[in-house]
Structure 1
Amino acid sequence: MSADDLRLPRSQAGSSPQHLLATVLGEYLNSTEAGLPSPAVIAILAEFGVSEAGARSALSRLTRRGLLAMRGRGRSPVYHVTASAFAHHRWHMQRFLNFGAHPPRWTGDWVTVSYSIPSAGQATRHAVRKSLAGLRFAGLYDSVWIRPGSDAGPVRAVLRELLGPVPGARWSVMHARFDEEAGPHGPAAAYDLAGLAGAYTGFAERFAALRAEVRAGTVDAARALVARTSVMDAWRRFPEVDPDLPAHLLPPSWPRPRARATFLDIHAALGSPARARLIEVTTPYWPAAADWIIFFAASTDPANPAPVGPQH
């Protein structure tokens, strides 16, 4: 199975058991060869208040989605992260930990999409909008969508797939520059930057007390795993919704740096105790746990998040 075939759990306001499990496995398992017994998974999710039935359901769903493969049958099957899911997790760890670290390299280029669909094609119109949003395009005007950058390959493929079979549908993919990029009718108007700023501020405020406890050294291992996973689960949504616009298109006092500093303070400080807690709760069911569990830390090398722990 390729990475493109994976069906990842959808991000949502509350973390489902399968979403939590995908987050934990992506952060803490260091190899596709790590065989995780189902009782160990049940013990992990119990840390988050998930019942045994919920844990088994999460395992089943992630297996159907291609993130896990089951080996063995009976009461205690063993699960492995698939190779495609492992590569996907590593890519995402790089993305999450480095997002916002450096201003985007800006050339002034925008990919612009315009399309026309016959009036009867409401379902097709909805599918196009959903797909464009998934590619991080934003609607500038009716049927005119934009995205910063110059890579138009993915959107061309999507439009050919969705609109090619539709009689009367037309579309254009263009590269554009705005004469008044920073003006009130420029590209920033396509984005809800006020809402995004509010989300970043809310993130920083939500985790302010935890950040203070981390700095004071009062978060023990029993809390570290849940706290660290919670902050990662909240932060990981921002790279999906933030267009990463250059500074001259952002409102003054943009709150992302404060939110990122909050995330990194907590994530870095709680890495080692969270790993220790994970080893503690899984070892009774998985004696080799300490040989396979790691944690990630932000790296000075943007191309490579740094795994800490035994490497295979």
Structure 2
Amino acid sequence: MDTPDGTPDSDASDGPQPRPQSLMLAFFGNHVLEGDGDVCVYSGSIIDVLGRVGVGEQAVRSTLTRMVNRGLLRRRREGRKMYFGLTPQASRVLWDGRTRIWKQGAVNDDWDGTWTLLGFSLPDSWKRQRHDLRSRLTWSGFGALYSGLWIAPGNVDIAAAVAELGLTDHVKIFHARADVATDIELMIRDTWDLEGIAARYVTFDKRWTAVLGSGVGSGDDPIGTRLRLVSEWLWTIRTDPRLPARHLPPEWPARPAEETFRRVAELTAAPARRTAGELLDTVPPLR
């Protein structure tokens, strides 16, 4: 299943294998959105940075072209050089991801007891629309309570995403509380793959705790380290609906994993920013 940015889900137990587009968006999120937010980056700079995380030049070039065609990036030519910047659509995707990472966090200690329910009925021939809707719902924290009825903890504003997909007339959204007769913990276990979600956090924590032990921050490639960090964290949290902590198993691994993520992020932030300033060739967009 894909995220709104087109990044594939993976069932590999040994960690994420993000596609170049996922890494590309993480790159722009780290070094464009968090900076000026409105600059274009030379393709050679992008090739250099993504090469540090194992993406070859041809894969970078084809990904840039594909993302332009999908309306996620825009081009600007300066002489013989081609520069790429974010479109409004890509900026929205990245701001959403930024909110998930830095503002919401991975642990939901503040649940107010409410649920958002979304029911839909689509024609059998609308396979792509059904796939897109389910992908967007998964990214927004929903799980399938029944085949056409999805549920998410809290008051989730999903109407705009549904409208963007052109499915408003086929969807009904409700906000409610569970009756006392409902076993919430059983419902959660039946609706979401808790073991799979937990395994992602355990894998992430183990890998990046080892990186911390090897002296992260003192290495010579902070920009590559931070790109891998953010990409892997997004892969880790993308299927986590931030279920209420009070209804999760004891010692839920999201908390220590997030602490590890934030420690590595803090250690790499300034070095990666300095390296980007030295490495990236950027220009303002055309008006």
TM band (smaller chain): 0.7 to 0.9
Matching of residues 1-312 of structure 1 within 5 Å: 8-12=5-9, 13-29=16-32, 30-72=35-77, 75-86=80-91, 88-100=93-105, 103-114=108-119, 122-124=124-126, 127-128=129-130, 131-132=133-134, 134-135=136-137, 136-151=141-156, 154=159, 173=174, 175-182=176-183, 185-214=186-215, 219-220=218-219, 222-282=220-280, 286=281
User: Which range is displaced more, 265-274 or 130-139?
Assistant: 130-139
SS of 2:97's equivalent in the other structure is helix
Query: How far off is 1:233 after superposition?
Result: 0.5
Using the TM superposition, name which of 61-70 and 255-264 deviates more.
61-70
CA gap 1:115/1:10 in 2 versus in 1, 3 angstroms: closer
Match of 1:10, as an amino acid? T
Contact 2:106 2:237 in 1 (8 A): no
Q: Give, in angstroms, the shift of residue 210 of structure 1.
A: 0.2
Contact map agreement 1:200 1:255 (CA 8 A) in 2: yes
Q: Please list every run of 5 or more consecutive structure 1 residues that lacks an aligned counterpart in the other structure.
A: 1-6, 293-312
Q: What's the Cα RMSD here? A: 3.5
Deviation at 1:88, TM superposition (A): 4.2
Task: Provide the C-alpha distance between the structure 1 equivalents of 2:7 and 2:31, rounded to a whole number of angstroms.
Answer: 20
Residue identity opposite 2:179 in structure 1:
F
- Encode CA deviations 1:153-208: one digit per residue, 9 max, x unaligned: 629957x965958xxxx978563413145556434431111221111111111222
Q: TM-score, normalization: structure 1? A: 0.71
Alpha carbons of 1:156 and 1:54: their partners in 2 closer, same or farther (altered >3 Å)? closer
Give the AA of the match of 2:94. Answer: H
Tell me the alpha carbon deviations over residues 1-51 of structure 1, each in whole angstroms, 9 at most, x when there is no partner: xxxxxx734244422223212211211122244232222222222222333
Partners of 2:201 and 2:72 lie apart in 1 by 30
Distance change >3 Å, CA 257–CA 281, structure 1 → 2: same
Q: Go from structure 1 to structure 2 and tell me whether the alpha carbon gap of 1:107 and 1:180 turns closer, same or farther (over 3 Å shift).
A: farther
Distance 1:163 1:56 in 2: 36
Cα-to-partner distance string for 1:126-154 (whole Å, 9 max, x where unaligned): 85476245223222245443222244762
CA distance in 2: counterparts of 1:153 and 1:93, whole angstroms: 17
| Aligned mates of 2:195, 2:215 — CA distance in 1 | 29
Q: Does the aligned pair in 2 maintain the 1:104–1:244 contact within 8 Å?
A: no
Asked if the contact 2:107–2:245 (Cα under 8 Å) also holds between the matched residues in 1, the reply is: no
> How big is the shift at 1:269?
0.1
Distance 1:152 1:179, change over 3 A: farther
Larger C-alpha radius of gyration, 1 or 2? Answer: 1
Amino acid at match of 2:28: L
Q: Output the amino acid matched with 1:81.
A: L
Q: Summarize deviations over 1:290-312 as a string: whole Å, max 9, x none.
A: xx9xxxxxxxxxxxxxxxxxxxx
Structure 1, residues 232-258: CA drift from partner, whole Å, max 9, x if none?
101113443111111221011101011
Q: Which amino acid aligns with 1:208?
A: T
SS in 1 for 2:105: coil
In the alignment, structure 2 segments of 5+ residues that lack a partner are 10-15
3-state SS, counterpart of residue 85 of structure 2: strand
Distance 1:225 1:156 in 2: 32
Task: Return closer, same or farther for 1:35/1:202 CA change in 2, 3 Å cut-off.
Answer: closer
TM-score after normalising by structure 2: 0.76
Distance in 2 between residues matched to 1:78 and 1:163, nearest whole Å = 37
Aligned residues of 1:48 and 1:226 also touching (Cα < 8 A): yes
Q: State the AA in 2 paired with 1:278.
A: A
Query: Does the 8 A contact of 1:188 with 1:249 survive in 2?
Result: no
| Distance change >3 Å, CA 144–CA 67, structure 1 → 2 | closer
Q: Any conservation in 2 of the 1:181–1:187 contact (CA below 8 Å)?
A: no
CA contact (8 A) 1:33 1:80 kept: yes
Query: How far does residue 271 in structure 1 lie from its aligned partner after superposition?
Result: 1.4
* Residue correspondences, number: 269
Give aligned-pair identity as a percent.
25
C-alpha spacing 1:209/1:81, structure 2 compared with 1 (3 Å): same
